[in-house]
């Protein structure tokens, strides 16, 4: 029943081959082209940034505007608080119920005015754009 046993599997190993080495050489001109492109992008970005500063102001000017708005808000809020009635206080003996609120808002107004003064000192400053010279990697020679 059955026949003969199958022959054992035979493994045939191929002859080893020498590894292939690859070397990639990028010409110096390619690095210089990339450096020039980077410089062009930075120059265009600086132009756009200057245009933005002319349209809406520098970050320091924007901050000063916001500090001025906060100062005016605090002043308007302080002005909207009802004033105490001295005659009523003399008659009823009840002190001004808004006094704690007035003190708090007065302190907020003082802080806002200080912040506005500090922001106004920064107004003349404008961030300089970054434009790099040719990077070192664009100057290398093949060694």
Q: Is the pLDDT of residue 19 over 80?
A: yes
> Measured over all CA atoms, what is the biggest interatomic distance in the chain, rounded to whole angstroms?
128
Within 13 Å, how many C-alpha atoms sit on residue 3's CB side?
3
How confident is residue 142, by pLDDT bands cut at 50, 70 and 90? low
Is 45 part of a structural domain of the chain? no
Residue 46: predicted pLDDT: 92
Is 14 part of a structural domain of the chain? no
**Number of folded domains that form the chain:** 1
pTM, two decimal places: 0.58
Q: In angstroms, how far is CA 96 from the centroid of its own chain?
A: 47
- 3-class state of residue 67 by DSSP: helix
Is 95 part of a structural domain of the chain? yes
Is 87 part of a structural domain of the chain? yes
Is 96 part of a structural domain of the chain? yes
Residue 40: predicted pLDDT: 92
Is 72 part of a structural domain of the chain? yes
Is 17 part of a structural domain of the chain? no
Is 139 part of a structural domain of the chain? no
How confident is residue 115, by pLDDT bands cut at 50, 70 and 90? very high
Domain membership of residue 83 as a residue range: 53-121
Residue 1: predicted pLDDT: 58
How confident is residue 91, by pLDDT bands cut at 50, 70 and 90? confident
- If you average pLDDT over residues 13-18, what whole number do you get? 90
């Amino acid at each position: 029943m059955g026949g003969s046993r199958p022959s054992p599997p035979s493994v045939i190993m191929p002859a080893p081959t020498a590894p292939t080495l690859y070397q990639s050489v990028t010409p110096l001109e390619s690095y210089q082209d990339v450096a020039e492109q980077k410089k062009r992008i930075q120059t265009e970005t600086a132009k756009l940034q200057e245009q933005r500063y002319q349209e809406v102001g520098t970050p320091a000017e924007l901050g000063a505007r916001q500090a001025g708005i906060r100062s005016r808000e605090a002043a308007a809020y302080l002005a909207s608080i009802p004033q105490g009635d001295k005659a009523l206080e003399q008659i009823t003996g009840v002190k001004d119920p808004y006094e704690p609120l007035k003190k708090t808002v007065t302190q907020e107004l003082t802080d806002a005015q200080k912040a506005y003064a500090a922001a106004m000192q920064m107004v003349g400053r404008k961030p300089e754009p970054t434009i790099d010279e040719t990077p070192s990697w664009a100057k290398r020679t093949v060694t």
